[in-house]
């Protein structure tokens, strides 16, 4: 699993290379190759740094109120929680499906009764590229263990605006009712 810091670092290096090549090609037509490489490197670092600062600031501004609201300390994009509830797996499945119906933006729900797994897809918005929600149910000692996971639909996503935390906490709240 890739951590938030690794995703930001890889994106930063990609932006440096992209902007560096762009500026190198722009300057190369009007000067020597060594001078254009120097300008490409310097301008690539500057453009990449500015871009990554904007991306991280945007994500932080969107996540900060959510992190404070739920008391979370994790900036990871993949959020997961567990909950033990009384009753049968069928009751827990129905409660989980009801919670997903109450969650806004769900565009597809797949229910696998054999493996006790529910998968839902949430549509994209301005804060996030969409999420994939997975709910797994296991019966342990007369209780049902509910495992909830929310991750961005796009594997290379570096921001989610805190939607993963909101998804998981909303479903937990619905299951506790």
Structure confidence at residue 31 (pLDDT): 61
Ranges of residues in the chain with a pLDDT under 70 are 1-2, 28-31, 73-75
- How crowded is the C-beta side of 134, counted as CA atoms within 13 Å? 11
Residue 2: per-residue pLDDT: 65
Q: What does the alpha-carbon distance between residue 169 and residue 164 come to, in Å, rounded to a whole number?
A: 9
CB-CB neighbours of 121 under 10 Å: 15
The backbone torsions φ and ψ at residue 31, rounded to the nearest 5 degrees and listed phi first, read -155, -175
User: Can you read off the two tokens belonging to residue 90?
Assistant: 């069928």
pTM: 0.76
Angle at 150 between CA 146 and CA 155, to 5 degrees: 140
Amino acid 68: pLDDT: 79
Sign of CA dihedral 97, 99, 102, 103: negative
Q: Going from the N-terminus, what domains does the chain have, and what CATH number goes with each?
A: 4-70 (no CATH), 79-176 (3.30.530.50)
């Amino acid at each position: 699993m890739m951590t938030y810091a690794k995703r930001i670092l890889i994106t930063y290096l990609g932006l440096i290379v992209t902007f560096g090549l762009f500026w190198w090609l722009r300057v190369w037509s009007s000067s020597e190759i060594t001078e254009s490489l120097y300008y490409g490197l310097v301008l690539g670092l500057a453009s990449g740094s500015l871009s990554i600062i904007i991306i991280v600031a945007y994500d932080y501004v969107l996540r900060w109120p959510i992190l404070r609201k739920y008391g979370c300390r994790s900036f990871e994009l993949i959020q997961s929680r567990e909950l033990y509830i009384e009753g049968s797996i069928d009751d827990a499945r129905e409660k989980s499906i009801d919670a997903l119906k109450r969650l806004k933006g769900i565009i597809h729900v797949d229910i696998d009764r054999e493996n006790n797994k529910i998968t839902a897809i949430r549509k994209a918005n301005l804060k996030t590229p969409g999420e994939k929600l997975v709910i797994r149910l296991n019966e342990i000692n007369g209780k049902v263990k509910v495992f909830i996971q929310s991750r961005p639909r796009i594997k290379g996503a570096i921001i989610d605006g805190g939607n993963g935390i909101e998804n998981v906490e909303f479903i937990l709240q619905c299951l506790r009712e």
